Structure 1
């Protein structure tokens, strides 16, 4: 008989004797795999792409921060641009410098404010948002429709903001800054799609390098719309506008240019 054939069963028997008892089968639930995903941390470009309207606010204990909701049509809104954040929707306009550091920490500088006096809920909202934003904030962006911004303050307070795309985001560029004076009365004009339509009467305003107003252009009928501007009969206004070329094909009865209100420079009531 072959010696190799005799030695094989002996080797197998010795190996079986040296093995330990089998590992016990777990009886508890299998733990879920580790979640390696993390929420998207918003950078300055993402913040600047939207106007952020306050949707919810809770303190560290989960209670609603009522002071941040003054009521009526007043909704606190954050706007980020050129390294600064502005706050609107309360009584006063507020603003400060800001930076987003490593790990998505939002740091806001000393808040500056206009000094108007309003009803207590609006004043309380100004104070509450300034106090909250004085703390470092963890910033998380939730890509949804509309997008959402979640800020978690150092004291555990959490605010959620919904985003409305800025004009630059919607029109795909920075746009050109122009100034336009709007007359206090509309004028008759021919609109191919709207009988009896009355146009705004406007003229271009220019300023020199020192900010001195130059002689205005000629009055003309304005057939389009100015986003964000509400005309009131009897009010003359000078507007600072952003002018955009609309991307893509434009209907034959529509303008290829979009005007968006940036700021009211002058306002005057006339008779």
Structure 2
């Protein structure tokens, strides 16, 4: 049995809320994205309300910057919120502080995880985007149905990002934090709309202010809906930090709760018995 602790649990945890439903609702209907803010000057709330995924990157000669598209299936993503920028869909996750003065964006030295990736293009992506972001950039924000963020370097390189609404934006407010243990194997479960449905088996965990497990875990229960952003691999047990959102005006046969992955905090490969 191989155990891998991925990240340290945060100290601040929220109060307990209800565990997964014990009757099978239909899968959560996808919530519509919130209306994008109107065209305006740079707005910190607008920046923080979206995941910014790289759509186009051109150098000063108008040539595509191929090095920034090392992952065709997962475009480079920036998240800018509360004075912090996070860079994902690279080899390593990077983060750091940022400031905006007028239309000028300045990002402080980025901290990075230290994983090695087999694909040299991914390793090069880390270095390339890290250097670019830590150089001064001119920032422009265009609102609309698909918000657009543009970063222009002093040398004339232009990076264009499209906005994808965060869960907080889509569901109209911050979700409640919860921790679940997800069993290594899914189990058959009865679902009114999906024949031969396989459900995740989950139980809620609790942690104290030091990030240590406390109390007794909840009972194992089937989860009749998906966790947004989570991809389960049979044979791998995970502890995940989730955000739970109330779904406003759900259809009569749909769940009133949405589960969105925040982070995987522990992962363990379990040998089949």
Larger radius of gyration: 1
> In the aligned structure 1, how far is the partner of 2:106 from the partner of 2:124?
22
Q: Which residue of structure 2 aligns with residue 212 of structure 1?
A: 212
Contact 1:44/1:100 (CA < 8 Å) preserved in 2? no
Q: What are the equivalent positions in structure 2 for 1:1-271 lying under 5 Å apart? A: 40-101=40-101, 103-118=102-117, 119-214=119-214, 215-247=216-248, 249-271=249-271
Could you tell me how far 1:157 is from its partner in structure 2? 1.4
Shift of 1:74: 4.0
Quote the offset at 1:150 in angstroms: 0.8
Tell me how far apart the structure 1 counterparts of residues 66 and 195 of structure 2 sit (CA, whole Å): 48
State the SS of the aligned residue for 1:208: coil
Deviation, 1:63, is: 2.4
| Structure 1 outlier segments of 4+, above 4 Å | none
Deviation of 1:71 after TM superposition, in Å, equals 4.0
Q: Secondary structure at the match of 1:123?
A: helix
CA offset at residue 183 of structure 1? 0.7
Residues 187, 198 of structure 2: 8 Å contact kept? yes
3-state SS of 1:54 partner? strand
Deviation of 1:252 (Å): 2.1
CA contact under 8 A between 1:44 and 1:99: conserved in structure 2?
no
Higher RCO (CA < 8 A, seq sep 6+) = 2
Gaps of 5+ in 1: 1-38
Which structure: greater helix fraction? Answer: 1
RMSD: 1.5
Q: CA deviation at 1:53?
A: 0.8
